[in-house]
Amino acid sequence: MRTLSLSSLFLSLALVACGGTDTDDTTDTDDTMVDTTDTTDTTDTTDTTPAEQTVVDIAVATPRFSILVEAVTKAGLAGALDGVTVFAPNNDAFEATFTALGVDGVDDLSVEQLTAILTYHVIAGEVDAATAISVAEGAGTASALGGSLDLAFDGTTLTVDGASVIAADIIASNGIIHEIDAVLVPNIIDVVTTDADLATLTAAVLAADGSAADPDLVGTLSGVGPFTVLAPTNDAFGAMLEANGTADLNAFVGAVGINTVISVLQYHVASGLLLSPQVAAVSTFDTLGGAVTVDVVSGSVILNQGIMGVPGTNDATVEVVDLITSNGVIHKIGAVITPANNM
C-alpha cells in the first residue's frame, strides 16, 4: 500500500467534512431516486424498486455505486447488508477520497481499513428519509455499525457527518439506501468502540473515564487531534491479565490501581500522525506516557522489544496498520506496552 502523507490525509478529511463537489453523474437520478428537497412529504420518497431486489442487488445494478460494490466485496461485508440502512457514497465521492489519500483505488486499501470505513456507513434497521430528518431535528445523532453519525437538516438538505444526501429512499427488499456525495470517515473512538477485537481496550478506557480520576480519554480521542493510537487487541490484554494472575480487567484494576491503568492507556497514545512507514523509520517516538522503542525484525515492527515492564507486556508486534480516522490513525498491536519498570 502506498504511503499516506500527512497533508493528503487531512485533505481527505476536509473533503469528508465539506461533502463532495463533483456530482455531475449522480445528480441526474433514475426512477429509483428521490431528491431530499421533498423529503417532508413521505409519499414522495417511496421508491418503486422491485421488492425482490436486495440492497446488494441494487448496488450491483447501479453503475454509480460500482466502487462501493468493489469495496464491500473486498471487505467481505455483503452478507452483513441485510435489514439495514446504507448511506452509500457514489463513485465521485470515492474518487475524491482516493485522490486526497494519494491512492489509486480500493486495491490500495486493506480489508481492515475498508471495514472501519464501510461499517460507518451502515445503520441497523430501516431508516427512511422522514425518520432520518426527525432524528436530525431531534437528537441529531444515529448509531451506525461503525460509530456515531451526526445528522442535520436545514429545511432542504439532509446531511450525514457533513455529506449531503442527494437521493433518498432507494427501497430494497431488505433495507434502504440513501446516496451521499462524500465518503464518511469515523473518528478514533468510533473505531475503537465498535471493533470487536478491541472490546477490552474499550472497557479499560471506559473504566478510566468512569473513575474519580476521569482523564476524559473518550473526549480527548474524539477531539480534533491528530493522534496516533497503539491499540492492544483482546488477546494482548488477555496475555497481560494472565501474566499478572488476574481473572479479568476489573481484577487487574483492583490489583494495580486505576492511576496505573490510566498511565498505561496514555502510553498507547501519541500526539500527531504517525503512519506505519514513519513508525518503522525511527528508533523511538514519544507518547503521552513516555518513549516507545521501535525495532524492525524480518519485516515486522516490534515495540519495546526486550524492555521489562508490567508482567506480560512489551515486545508488541504491530499487527494491523494505518486504520484511517478523521482525527488520526490506529495501529493494532499484539501486546500491551508499558514503560520500563512501570510497577
In order, the DSSP letters of 97-108 are HHHHHT--SGGG
pLDDT in tens, 160-199: 999 999 999 999 999 999 999 999 999 999 999 999 999 9
- 214: DSSP letter: -
Is beta strand 227-232 parallel, antiparallel or unpaired with respect to 328-333?
parallel
- Do the beta carbons of residue 130 and residue 138 sit within 8 Å? no
Say yes or no: 172 and 28 in one domain: yes
- Do the beta carbons of residue 273 and residue 6 sit within 8 Å? yes
Domain boundary among 180, 205, 231: 180
Say yes or no: 126 and 239 in one domain: no
Give the C-alpha distances (Å, rounded to integers) separating 23 from 19, 26, 99, 155: 10, 5, 15, 21
**What percentage of the chain reaches a pLDDT higher than 90?**
82
- Cα distance between residue 211 and residue 203, in whole Å: 12
For residue 5, pLDDT beyond 70? no
Say yes or no: 12 and 157 in one domain: yes
pLDDT in tens, 94-122: 999 999 888 999 999 999 999 999 999 99
pLDDT at 101: 86
Say yes or no: 156 and 209 in one domain: no
Say yes or no: 169 and 146 in one domain: yes
Say yes or no: 38 and 158 in one domain: yes
Give the C-alpha distances (Å, rounded to integers) separating 18 from 34, 63, 208, 242: 22, 24, 34, 47
| Any domain includes 342 | no
pLDDT band at 51 (very low <50, low <70, confident <90, very high): low
pLDDT at 115: 98
Say yes or no: 136 and 166 in one domain: yes
Mean pLDDT of 314-328: 97
| Any domain includes 341 | no
pTM over 0.75: yes
| Any domain includes 287 | yes
Say yes or no: 200 and 89 in one domain: no
- Do the beta carbons of residue 289 and residue 298 sit within 8 Å? no
pLDDT in tens, 54-88: 999 999 999 999 999 999 999 999 999 999 999 99
CB atoms within 10 A of CB 95: 16
Domain boundary among 126, 149, 180: 180
Q: What's phi and psi for 338, nearest 5 deg?
A: -140, 155
| Any domain includes 34 | yes
| Any domain includes 1 | no
Closest CA relative to residue 162, chosen from 13, 17, 36: 17
- Cα distance between residue 266 and residue 158, in whole Å: 38
pLDDT at 6: 37
Q: What's phi and psi for 234, nearest 5 deg?
A: -55, -40
Written as nine digits, the cell of 20 is 463532495
Domain count, the chain: 2
Domain boundary among 148, 164, 180: 180
- Do the beta carbons of residue 273 and residue 284 sit within 8 Å? no
Say yes or no: 228 and 297 in one domain: yes
- Cα distance between residue 234 and residue 47, in whole Å: 43
Closest CA relative to residue 322, chosen from 111, 30, 69: 111
| Any domain includes 71 | yes
Summary mean pLDDT of the chain: 88
Say yes or no: 210 and 285 in one domain: yes
Say yes or no: 244 and 270 in one domain: yes
Is beta strand 122-124 parallel, antiparallel or unpaired with respect to 84-89?
antiparallel
Mean pLDDT of 256-270: 97
Closest CA relative to residue 309, chosen from 278, 248, 268, 269: 268
Q: Can you give the residue range of the structural domain that contains 210?
A: 188-333
| Any domain includes 128 | yes
CATH code, domain carrying 24: 2.30.180.10
Closest CA relative to residue 167, chosen from 68, 35, 41: 35
Say yes or no: 316 and 218 in one domain: yes
Give the C-alpha distances (Å, rounded to integers) separating 226 from 229, 257, 275: 10, 29, 11
| Any domain includes 99 | yes
For residue 313, pLDDT beyond 70? yes
- Do the beta carbons of residue 323 and residue 330 sit within 8 Å? yes
